[in-house]
Amino acid sequence: MEFGYGGSGPADAALNVLIHFVDGYTVFRLHQDFKWKFIATPDQENGGIINAAQILPWIKEQLGRD
């Protein structure tokens, strides 16, 4: 998995993370925004770790804005 930039490797990482939380259609809808929020710009303060406590509220927010 790649991270730290906006290319296809981080996009693939985003797809692979999101599939654990939402259906396939929603994965493709959200993966680019997820990539930019969590994968392309990892939080250096926590070692780049992303956890469900961060992901779930973000998904809810994204789905609520549609």
How confident is the model over 24-46, as pLDDT tens digits?
999 999 999 999 999 998 777 87
**Domain locations in the chain as residue ranges:** 8-64
Flag whether pLDDT at 57 surpasses 80: yes
pLDDT above 90 as % of the chain: 76
Res 45: pLDDT: 80
The DSSP line for 2-62 is --SSSSHHHHHHHHHHHTTTS-HHHHHHHHHHHIIIIISS--GGGTT---HHHHHHHHHHH
Flag whether pLDDT at 1 surpasses 90: no
Flag whether pLDDT at 59 surpasses 90: yes
Distances (CA, A) of 4 to 26, 27, 30, 38, 44: 23, 20, 18, 9, 10
For residue 63, give the nearest of 6, 22, 24 by alpha carbon.
Answer: 22
Q: pTM, whole model, 2 decimals?
A: 0.88
